[in-house]
Amino acid sequence: MIKEVRSWSKPQVSNLIARKKVDWSIFEYGTQIPFEFHQDFAIANANHYLNIGEKVSIELIINEQIYKVNLINFKRKDSNTGSLQLRYDQNSSLKELLKGVFDTSYQYLSENREEKSKKPVHTPEEMSEYIDFYQTENPFIYKVKLLSKQKQLSRPSFWWVNQGQTYKQEKSGSYLWAPQKSKQGIPLPHHVRLLEPVIGDIVFCYSARELRSIGVVKNTAVKAPKPIAITSDAWQEDGYLLALSYFQLEPTIRKEEIPEEWRLKESGPFDVNGDLKQGYFFGLTEEFAKNLYKLFNYRFPSEVRLKLEEYETSKEQKNIKEIPQTYLSNKKLIDHIYGYIRSKGFFFKKEEVINLFLSLKTKPFVILSGISGTGKTKMVQWFAESLGATEENGQFALIPIRPDWNDGSDLLGYVDIKGEFREGPLTKVIKRALDHPKLPHFVLLDEMNLARVEYYFSDILSVMESRKWKEGKIVSTYLLTEETAGVNLKLPNNLYVIGTVNMDETTHPFSKKVLDRANTIEFNRVDLGNLTFLHELEQVEPVVVGQASLAAKYLHLKDVYRQKQDLVERVTLELVKMNELLQLINAHFGYRVRDEICFYMAYAEENDLMKFDEALDHCILQKILPRISGSDSRVDELLRKLFQLFTNKQYEDSVDIADLDLSGTTLYPQSTKKVAEMLRRLEDGFTSFWIS
């Protein structure tokens, strides 16, 4: 990449003027060209720089069709400089073409942008689409390529190179090189084959009777003269050069260590006796590469292990991964998830599905509590599966928690007595998520509070709070470092952690540190007699959706305040009233809880998923009430004041909870009922949010 400024860039492509990432302006009027690219367009226009106020007619050639647009250098209001813009305000046919080709971007941007907001909305990286402008022989005529979203996920091919004495030079220069023709002027297939690899392909580098490195292709091969470092006179000067990143095998793999039956079966670089053929560059089968990695994976450097791990999975994974991703609006996505869960014979209210969706979008850590047998685990499994995430394809993992876990090593991994890092179950999922950033990954921590959560989960919680915006992406600090684990690992944005908990004598209570950082959803509703939903079962197939469907838009309060100022102020006003009451027992909450409630409320408002009072009711129940527990009179006073705040009337001890009529008397019926339950439980001397 030569340069990159905001949504514009210039990859090293012949005759390319510049590349523009599709944003909303593309569908409305055209695009503004950054100052850093004015020279590129001037060169394409026979070195003609537009004066301020000058307008020139431009022809865009798209799929052999010509579309007329204007290149204008507008005078800026706030300075004497110009604003170079490509405009097609009135060209409706071009606009319709762009909307059709860039349907993915158009749907996402139209759904997520705010009409009156000046804040730009950008498509996530995995959904990005581009327009390439190419120079032609004639000034003011550009050839245009529309790069719409890729529908298939590519998989690398595998190669074998016999480098011999040139290994050191080629490794030092990060390339492979072979002459185009022999001394006799004949093209050699094992040299010409160097033109076939694509970016991301894997090359096994062999020299001096052993595999010494693994290479990852950085760029496709180009014609290039013989590098100075290669001094042999046996070759012609003109050749092919393939850019390669080298990663050392430690220890190296001798040819004799590779099972003979594998070599006999592999016809690429091996002859009928299992020995190496004379030649330079050969293709490898995926089976041979996978087997080699399985046998010697501990020798592979961490950078390559991350890339190759996916090839240990089944063929089913390959098929699932290659299904095109589908973009659905939030409403349609929730309808699909709800229908899928019902098709499995489980009864959950649609409101519960919406709540789980909003909670995960607000923060990628959710706790599901409730009595045993209400379907908490199945709810998570079916939710993930409806989005194409299964154990078979590595996008879903169930990790049972053990009572003896007392630090992060049980979940993340540890350094053994030999000094080698042993991966924990969560680390394996993190690596898969990092390898596939376009797909959501789910981890279910089953029976999460069998051990103390704040002990074994504290590292993840801390890193989760370190997230920040950087160049339009959410990034975190390192969860594991190269010093410990052999590789620097951050918490992926496409990883969602859901914990199920039961509250009884075998489990541990949650600290406020944990409760502050999660939405706690309670599943205690049981309706054994309801069988009517079983009559309506229809088969619903999973839909493979991209990470963008669940990705967070808000990370800091200012992110949502810019777009929804009235909403933030309204929510804050309600929270202030409750927080003043919570100070009675020092259970008041801080900025984090306020901010995450505002995020939840903003997501709920978008697409009209929930009404304001209904959404805030969930937030009170999930973020505020779990903080309350105790046995003294102050807890009693707090609960009574909350009941009065919610209903505008006094709590009556004589009224049975089952007979409590909340219709029309409160904006927050679920929270009010929970407060009444906690008051009734206090009669036994102690109360808390949890039913044990």
pLDDT at 530 over 60: no
In this prediction the pTM is 0.58
For the purposes of burial, counting CB atoms within 10 Å of the CB of 80, is it exposed (0-12), middle (13-18) or buried (19 or more)? exposed
505 vs 532, which has greater pLDDT?
505
- Give the pLDDT confidence score for residue 65 in this predicted structure: 78
- For 502, half-sphere exposure in the C-beta direction (CA atoms, 13 angstrom radius) is 14
Give dist(CA 472, CA 125) in Å, integer. 9
pLDDT at 318 over 70: no
- Mean pLDDT calculated for residue range 267-292: 89
188 vs 24, which has greater pLDDT?
24
pLDDT at 692 over 60: no
Query: Comparing C-alpha atoms, which of 433, 441, 405, 462 is closest to residue 414?
Result: 405
Q: Are residues 492 and 587 in the same domain?
A: no
Q: The CATH number of the domain where 262 resides is what?
A: 3.10.590.10
Kindly state the percentage of the chain with pLDDT values over 90. 45
Please, which residues have CB within 8 angstroms of residue 8's CB and are 6 or more apart in sequence? 18, 19, 20, 21, 33, 34, 36, 37
Structure confidence by residue, pLDDT tens digits, 76-87: 877 777 899 999
CA angle 34, 37, 39 (to 5 degrees): 135
> Is the Cβ–Cβ distance between 412 and 426 less than 8 Å?
yes
Give dist(CA 317, CA 290) in Å, integer. 14
SS3 of residue 181 by DSSP: strand
153 domain residue, yes or no: no
Q: Using the Cα atoms of residue 634, residue 640, residue 646 and residue 648 in order, give the sign of their dihedral.
A: negative
Residue 522 one-letter amino acid? E
Of 84-88, 313-317, 347-351, least confident by mean pLDDT is 313-317
- Residue that is written with structure tokens 């505008």 in the block: 648
Mean pLDDT of the chain: 86
Confidence class of residue 326 from pLDDT cuts 50, 70 and 90? low
Residue 249 one-letter amino acid? L
Q: Are residues 138 and 213 in the same domain?
A: no
Give dist(CA 69, CA 72) in Å, integer. 10
> Is the Cβ–Cβ distance between 161 and 213 less than 8 Å?
no
What's the domain count of the chain?
A: 4
552 domain residue, yes or no: no
31 domain residue, yes or no: yes
Give dist(CA 438, CA 550) in Å, integer. 11
Confidence class of residue 319 from pLDDT cuts 50, 70 and 90? very low
Most confident of 114-123, 222-231, 296-305: 222-231
Confidence class of residue 117 from pLDDT cuts 50, 70 and 90? low
Cα 35 from chain centroid?
Answer: 32
- Give the pLDDT confidence score for residue 570 in this predicted structure: 96
- Mean pLDDT calculated for residue range 87-114: 84
CA angle 460, 516, 563 (to 5 degrees): 100
Structure confidence by residue, pLDDT tens digits, 250-267: 899 999 999 999 999 888
Query: Comparing C-alpha atoms, which of 318, 338, 398, 357 is closest to residue 543?
Result: 338
Give dist(CA 405, CA 454) in Å, integer. 11
Q: Are residues 527 and 385 in the same domain?
A: yes
Q: Are residues 623 and 493 in the same domain?
A: no
Give the helix, strand, coil percentages of the chain, each rounded to 5.
40, 25, 40
- Give the pLDDT confidence score for residue 401 in this predicted structure: 92
Q: Are residues 294 and 188 in the same domain?
A: yes
Residue 177 one-letter amino acid? W
SS3 of residue 526 by DSSP: coil
Q: Are residues 450 and 340 in the same domain?
A: yes
Confidence class of residue 71 from pLDDT cuts 50, 70 and 90? very high
Q: Are residues 583 and 680 in the same domain?
A: yes
548 domain residue, yes or no: no
Q: Are residues 52 and 174 in the same domain?
A: no
Residue 85 one-letter amino acid? Q
Q: Are residues 369 and 429 in the same domain?
A: yes
152 domain residue, yes or no: no
Residue 47 one-letter amino acid? N
- Give the pLDDT confidence score for residue 373 in this predicted structure: 67
Give dist(CA 409, CA 126) in Å, integer. 32
Structure confidence by residue, pLDDT tens digits, 451-496: 999 899 999 999 999 988 876 678 889 999 888 887 888 999 999 9
Q: The CATH number of the domain where 139 resides is what?
A: 2.40.330.10
192 domain residue, yes or no: yes
Residue 536 one-letter amino acid? E
SS3 of residue 401 by DSSP: coil
Of 165-169, 319-323, 430-434, 436-440, least confident by mean pLDDT is 319-323
Q: Are residues 92 and 23 in the same domain?
A: yes
Tokens of 408: 């992060």
Confidence class of residue 536 from pLDDT cuts 50, 70 and 90? low
Give dist(CA 74, CA 81) in Å, integer. 9
52 vs 326, which has greater pLDDT?
52
Query: Comparing C-alpha atoms, which of 233, 227, 238, 231 is closest to residue 179?
Result: 238
Give dist(CA 254, CA 563) in Å, integer. 61
Give dist(CA 55, CA 208) in Å, integer. 65
Most confident of 112-121, 245-254, 312-321, 509-518: 245-254
Q: Are residues 244 and 363 in the same domain?
A: no
515 domain residue, yes or no: yes
Please, which residues have CB within 8 angstroms of residue 521's CB and are 6 or more apart in sequence? 352, 355, 356, 359, 366, 367, 368, 369, 622
- Give the pLDDT confidence score for residue 309 in this predicted structure: 61
Please, which residues have CB within 8 angstroms of residue 2's CB and are 6 or more apart in sequence? 10, 11, 12
Give dist(CA 305, CA 431) in Å, integer. 10
- Give the pLDDT confidence score for residue 468 in this predicted structure: 87
Most confident of 190-199, 270-279, 514-523, 569-578: 569-578
Q: Are residues 419 and 365 in the same domain?
A: yes
Sort strands 489-490 and 158-162 into parallel, antiparallel or unpaired.
unpaired
Tokens of 527: 């309706």
- For 529, half-sphere exposure in the C-beta direction (CA atoms, 13 angstrom radius) is 0
> Is the Cβ–Cβ distance between 557 and 568 less than 8 Å?
yes
Q: Residue 137 is part of which domain span?
A: 3-147
SS3 of residue 280 by DSSP: coil
Give dist(CA 394, CA 495) in Å, integer. 12
